[in-house]
Chains A and B, each alone.
Chain A
């Protein structure tokens, strides 16, 4: 296990050095990632400017939800590059054979494939919007709340990693990988930018019980704010809900092993 961690650190260090080899390109892409999300938030601001509130929430509240899910997704997106490109770069080319030959788990090798530094831009923007939310609202933030949010972040990263693992697993069947999986990753991030109670029941049930994005953003955030759930979930649910993210990752890793067992090389 320790050995695996050391190996992971060395691979990631190499990946970081490689990305910093082109500093201008790196700076522009980071700035681009920052701009995309900040401009997206201008749209949210315009709607609040017009309507004032949504489902009992103000702009500051939504900024907190929005910031949290942006930070979660930025971290997950940065560390799961190997799974993201799995179909085209590993299955289609046959490179996955090489991974199978090495005496280390395939999950470790794919996690160590690349740490995408440009996601720092999205992370910074998420943190900025979250900070904006903090100054605009007047919740009583405690250490307990900070701990809940840290757990939510960890659970959220686990959840989105699980989604990426499932997307990669699909590539064992479809070879190319499925763009449609973006619906759950990018689309899930977009959906979780607003509190779940604003959505129609079928949609929010999907986001809480189906792909449990609401369990790693909406429910723990309510607990951290000290607000009761307008949907009526009991107060004890919020602090433990992010565990659903780890559960989801567990299920995803199980399907991954199932997929590997079925893998037939297409390589040359």
Chain B
């Protein structure tokens, strides 16, 4: 960190600080892990029942759908369901005014906060989930219900790149919700709508490949696909070669577009911001 350029240092510091702080919430991590195991199990049992009636038209094998489902649950906290809760408090109390006094770019500062927050919530749960679904389940003979390793070395490499895209995209969408919060001073309505749209279009509820085939190009092109469907399809080999590279390019393209839009709208909203409290 000490070697970082002086201009980047405050952003890296806020990332490290919030990461360490959020990692302290161990009870929340355990509760999240238990909840995600349960919902993962329900989704997998339902998929298995559908496959049992005939898998002829399925776009992927049951084993791959199971792997995709466990990964979706392991990395669930990357889904940007809400505006950053600390920023919500700042807007409510008026402390947001101090954010404008810092000699940093507010967008970049908040972006790093959002990224640290999601990463810190994902890390313990993902480690537990991968340990249970990827190691323990195969060891106790439940391997076909567990999380399989990546389909190839190439898939693993592309998955890592796409996972970085997933983290960046998640923060960019959180920042859009922050902008709506700063403009409207209320986060609840936008959060409720955002969460439902994200759950469907990321591929959390069902992998996007299960939707009618004609929808697929459109579904892969929309921004939320980069939160679950693109990285995890690459992992099990449902997306490979140039198709995978194209999907990753789409993912990073959305990161850039949403970040530019978010930064532009944040500055506009800040000009009109009414500071609450006294």
Residues of A participating in the B interface, judged by any CB pair closer than 8 Å:
24-25, 28-29, 31-33, 35-36, 39-40, 42-43, 46-47, 49-55, 176, 178-180, 182-183, 187, 190-191, 194, 198-200, 203
Within 8 A of A (CB), among B1-60: 27-28, 30-32, 34-35, 38-39, 41-42, 45-54, 57-59
B54 to chain A, nearest CB (A): 7
Count residues on chain B whose CB falls below 8 Å from chain A CBs: 41
Q: How would you classify the secondary structure of chain B's contact residues: helix, strand, loop or mixed? A: helix
Q: Is B277 an interface residue (CB 8 A)?
A: no
28 A/B residue pairs, CB under 8 Å, sorted by A: A25-B189, A28-B188, A28-B189, A28-B193, A32-B191, A32-B192, A35-B196, A36-B192, A39-B200, A40-B199, A42-B205, A43-B205, A47-B47, A47-B206, A49-B212, A50-B50, A50-B58, A50-B210, A53-B53, A54-B46, A55-B49, A178-B31, A179-B28, A179-B31, A179-B32, A180-B34, A183-B35, A194-B46
Q: Is B186 an interface residue (CB 8 A)?
A: yes
User: A29-B188, A47-B210, A49-B212 known; A55 and B45 CB under 8 Å?
Assistant: no
CA gap between A35 and B192 in the complex, in Å: 8
Q: Name the contact of A51 in the complex, choosing from B32, B41, B57 (C-beta under 8 A).
A: B57
Residues of B participating in the A interface, judged by any CB pair closer than 8 Å:
27-28, 30-32, 34-35, 38-39, 41-42, 45-54, 57-59, 186, 188-193, 195-197, 199-200, 205-206, 210-212
4 other contacts beyond A29-B189, A32-B196, A51-B54, with CB at 8 A cut-off? Answer: A28-B190, A46-B212, A179-B31, A194-B46
Q: Which residues of A contact B46 (CB under 8 A)?
A: 47, 54, 194, 198
Among residues of A, the one whose C-beta sits closest to the C-beta of B55 is: A51
Among residues of B, the one whose C-beta sits closest to the C-beta of A198 is: B49
User: A39-B199, A43-B200 known; A31 and B193 CB under 8 Å?
Assistant: yes
